[in-house]
Amino acid sequence: MGIASELEKTIAQHRLHGLREQFQGSGFVMPFYGGLSIANLGATVAGLLGMELEGAEPPVPRNIWGDLVGGVRTVVLVLLDGVGYAQLLPLLQDGDRPFGRLASRGKVAPLTSVFPSTTLTAMTSLWTGRTPGDHGFLGSHLLRQCLSATGILL
């Protein structure tokens, strides 16, 4: 069983404490902030560059990326907004396509998004290395309400 298959199983079995049983077995993927989430990428990229991202969530487990450390000067992170892991897999398996060529030369591992999984919330987690509860950007509608309440109009 490869690392990606192991991670898929770990993610599928992950549950967040306090959520009702209705989510169990529904196919709903819970955010895995402990190391397998987009919120963990900031600390991972920092680690690849030999740095630490203070106050961030922990990096993705080192057994996934640790062999890449040493002399890394540039990290290229490819993000496809709105494309799920299951939809991406067929593209990664075709070595004649760009994503297949990238996959053959790099690392592919499934990660969870954040909740809520809006672009604004996920990108803020990626940029800051923090969960939505920590960075506070839960969506543009909530942001507009907060800014309007302070007298700033959008």
Q: Is residue 154 part of a domain?
A: no
Please count the residues of the chain. 154
Q: Is residue 83 part of a domain?
A: yes
Q: Is residue 110 part of a domain?
A: yes
Total-model pTM: 0.80
Give mean pLDDT in consecutive 10-residue pieces for the chain, a chain of 154 residues.
Answer: 82 76 70 94 92 94 86 85 87 89 85 90 94 87 55 50
Q: Is residue 139 part of a domain?
A: yes
Distance CA 66, CA 60 (A): 10
Q: How many domains does the chain have?
A: 1
Q: Kindly state the greatest CA–CA separation across the chain.
A: 56
pLDDT reported for residue 84: 85
Q: Is residue 131 part of a domain?
A: yes
User: Which amino acid is present at 25?
Assistant: G
Query: What residue numbers bound the domain in which 63 lies?
Result: 3-149
Q: Which two tokens stand for residue 58?
A: 């922990």
Q: Is residue 133 part of a domain?
A: yes
Q: Is residue 84 part of a domain?
A: yes
Residues 6 or more apart whose Cβ sits within 8 Å of residue 82: 119
How close are the terminal C-alpha atoms of the chain, in Å? Answer: 51
pLDDT reported for residue 104: 87
